[in-house]
Structure 1
Amino acid sequence: MRKRRTIGSAEAKAAKKNREDVDASVATMSHAELRTRLEELGDKPGPIDDSNRNLYNRMLTKKLATVAESSQREEKEEEVETKETPAVTSKERGGKKSKEGVSQKGKTAQQKVKKLGIEGVVAASYTPFNTDGSLNLAMVEPYANYLIRLGVAGVFVNGTTGEGVLMTVDERKAMVEAWAKAVKKRVKVIVHVSSTSLKDCQEMARHASSLDGVDAIAAMPPLVFSAKTIEELLVHLECIASSAPRTPLLLYHHSDMSPLNFSIEEFLRQADKRLPTFVGVKYTDYNVDVFARCLNLGRYEMLYGRDEQLLASLAMGAVSCVGSTYNFTGSIPAKIFAAFKSGDIATAQKEQLKSQLAIKTYNDVGRRIGCASPHALGKAIMHMIGCPVGAPRLPSKPLTDAQYKELKRSFEEIGFFDWHQAS
């Protein structure tokens, strides 16, 4: 007769504690959040109201506890398997290929999510477009090679710089495949998967996590009907993370695009308990003091996103940064990192001032010529330095010839092209 498996006292206590935690989190959900979470876990609940709320609370509590316990068992089994099973090559695994020729990771692979461990500059890449507005996938490889020559540690694909939210899901998938193929694991690839549709976020998260060469995904709250509470943001990210359970997840915090109406520090404390794949934040905010306090929690990777304050963030403990101007400021950010690390603060300050002057000129010219689009300005500069990535997408328009000439003249005046050539 088959013996019934009994759970040890320590494991039973852990399972009970997990159910208690789930009960507390479920109780704070709105009816709509509860229904969404149940649907994500495969249920088809009917209308939820006060009369049946307790029933659905118990249903979700049981499901989440089962998922957590199953995950723990799988991790233990994998630890045993890792010790007993010899390494298997990708050829022996028979990994699939996507239509762009990018290797696919096995979806059933069980592995613990590791931190990115990224140090240095991450360029928020522009999306190359052809003159007809279609994706210029052929440009991705030379673009990637150019950035790697500058010394970047990674690329952030389909973000706000990359106009990801103006692209279709299929376009975004194709762009991610092109970057993964072009980079060839030489640097980290982080993929932005946010959308106003949660289903689209999940689809893009699943796709990104299936590609060999994608190191992490990042998501922000929806740009419309955004998360108003920590709980709403946690539920949103839980749903995305569930579609990429083996891929590190970053919160994309952008104070201009999706400001948070609550403490990001408190969010991080709660995320530690709710999001097992969560590793940190792409922090695009001018509040360096809050950034430092988040770093001080000691559990998360914090990638600083205000290019003109890079040196300040390093002084507060940052080891990585993400930004759009890192596409065209040459080796300046890498020099800031190197000088700071060696204790040569004077050189670090000198290089930071160059970066700040370029950013100030960029903004001043934009106001002067009547162009408020950072994509139009940035892509024009990319053309000037020999890395053409096309025009921005509507509603932004490319610069006119007169505007382009004025931008170029202003950058010549500050010696920008001499700096870049020296890179």
Structure 2
Amino acid sequence: MKDLIAATYAPMRQDGSLNLNAIAPYGEFLKSNKVKGAFVNGSTGDFVSLSTTERKQLIEAWAKESPENFFITNHVGHTNIREAQDLAAHSEELADAICALPPFYFKPQTLDSLLHYCSEIAKRAPSLPFYYYHIPILTGANFPMIDFLRMAVDRIPNFEGIKYSHYDPKDFSRCLHFDQGSRNILFGVDEKLVSSLPLGATGWVGSTYNHLAPLYYKLISSFRDDDIPSAEALQEKAIFFVETLDKIGGFNGAGKSFMRLFGLDMGPSRFPHHTMTDGQLTTAVQKLDEKGILPLLSTSFSEEYLTN
């Protein structure tokens, strides 16, 4: 996995049931904005609020409806290891890779315990690359990933890399350059993307790549052209986008609601996330317009909320 990978939303109808008909246009929208793949059933996709059956239905729909040459990763982590194993086995003919975060209520207390959990899941989908999802702010499982990496390469035959959704530049850099960069280490903190570039990051997974793919590609290009001030200014715009939506009841629900501006109605968010009203969406767009962010949004943006 390289370049931008979008952590995708779970499209829903107004009654809260899954709207699988939205997957095909969603995938085409992402690909048209040069996003290289979808990270399905992750934090952005409300996986903790979905049943195992719903998570299976989502990855089945992505497998069937995703565009050509579009990398699909299925997150299969669960507090119940048997459910995680079931989701992993189900993924084998559907996804290009699987990923798992650790149990987050009764947490692994040692690296050995965490490696056991990961290996038991990975072996149920032996033909698929396995990624570990490191997001300690939400899981509470906070181990140095370089230590995990050294152990995982020996204990998990199909171990491929880490979705590193934590800001620890020193540890991230060590993982990135471990064994001459033999593993795929994906940076997962959208608001800090610019800081991952001097370290050598080449792949990123995040929710705002749904909305701001052109901004991030321009940011990456500016950095590679040695125009650091422009790259940093673009990062500040991305941060403003997140902060603006976060103030409207939390970013997860507001970000999902924002997709309506691209002609993609993802439907309501499941509790406890908040779904934006049209009025709140209009206010958010106006604030983003004042900061010059609208031209940097993904294409298919609709101006109806500015003109109404």
TM-score (norm 2): 0.90
Corresponding position: 1:333 with 2:210? no
State the match for 2:174 in structure 1. 293
The verdict on how the C-alpha distance between 1:155 and 1:414 changes in structure 2, with shifts beyond 3 A counting, is: same
Q: Does the 8 A contact of 2:28 with 2:67 survive in 1?
A: no
Partner residue of 2:193 out of 298, 306, 310: 310
State the match for 1:387 in structure 2. 264
State the match for 2:50 in structure 1. 167
State the match for 1:222 in structure 2. 103
| Unpaired stretches in structure 2, ≥5 consecutive residues | 301-308
Q: Does the 8 A contact of 1:124 with 1:162 survive in 2?
A: yes
Note the C-alpha offset of 1:351.
Answer: 2.8
Note the C-alpha offset of 1:194.
Answer: 0.9
SS in 2 for 1:191: strand
Q: Does the 8 A contact of 2:16 with 2:270 survive in 1?
A: yes
Partner residue of 2:151 out of 265, 270, 276: 270
State the match for 2:283 in structure 1. 406
In structure 1, distance between residues paired with 2:204 and 2:298: 23
Amino acid at match of 2:111: I
In structure 1, distance between residues paired with 2:70 and 2:147: 31
State the match for 2:243 in structure 1. 360
SS in 2 for 1:267: helix
In structure 1, distance between residues paired with 2:289 and 2:21: 30
State the match for 2:297 in structure 1. 420
Amino acid at match of 2:273: S
Q: Does the 8 A contact of 1:120 with 1:337 survive in 2?
A: no
Aligned residue pair count: 298
Amino acid at match of 2:136: S
Question: Residues 16-415 of structure 1: matches in 2 within 5 Å?
Answer: 118-211=1-94, 214-297=95-178, 298-363=181-246, 365-366=247-248, 371=249, 373-415=250-292
Alpha carbon RMSD of aligned pairs, Å?
A: 1.9
The verdict on how the C-alpha distance between 1:237 and 1:190 changes in structure 2, with shifts beyond 3 A counting, is: same
In structure 2, distance between residues paired with 1:130 and 1:422: 24
Q: Does the 8 A contact of 2:104 with 2:140 survive in 1?
A: no
Q: Does the 8 A contact of 1:283 with 1:302 survive in 2?
A: yes
Q: Does the 8 A contact of 1:379 with 1:392 survive in 2?
A: yes
In structure 2, distance between residues paired with 1:388 and 1:341: 35
Q: Percent of aligned pairs with the same residue? A: 36
Amino acid at match of 2:168: N
Q: Does the 8 A contact of 1:228 with 1:261 survive in 2?
A: no
Q: Does the 8 A contact of 1:165 with 1:194 survive in 2?
A: no
| Unpaired stretches in structure 1, ≥5 consecutive residues | 1-117
State the match for 2:303 in structure 1. none
SS in 2 for 1:155: strand
In structure 2, distance between residues paired with 1:154 and 1:242: 24
Bigger relative contact order (CA 8 A; separation at least 6): 2
In structure 2, distance between residues paired with 1:422 and 1:171: 29
Q: Does the 8 A contact of 2:214 with 2:298 survive in 1?
A: no
Q: Which one is further off, 170-179 or 292-301?
A: 292-301
Amino acid at match of 1:334: Y
Q: Which one is further off, 234-243 or 408-417?
A: 408-417
Larger-gyration structure (1/2): 1
Instruction: Encode CA deviations 1:177-217: one digit per residue, 9 max, x unaligned.
Output: 11122224422111100111111111110111122xx2100
The verdict on how the C-alpha distance between 1:269 and 1:210 changes in structure 2, with shifts beyond 3 A counting, is: same
Note the C-alpha offset of 1:420.
Answer: 2.2
The verdict on how the C-alpha distance between 1:132 and 1:119 changes in structure 2, with shifts beyond 3 A counting, is: same
In structure 2, distance between residues paired with 1:274 and 1:388: 43
In structure 2, distance between residues paired with 1:271 and 1:233: 10
Q: Which one is further off, 321-330 or 252-261?
A: 252-261
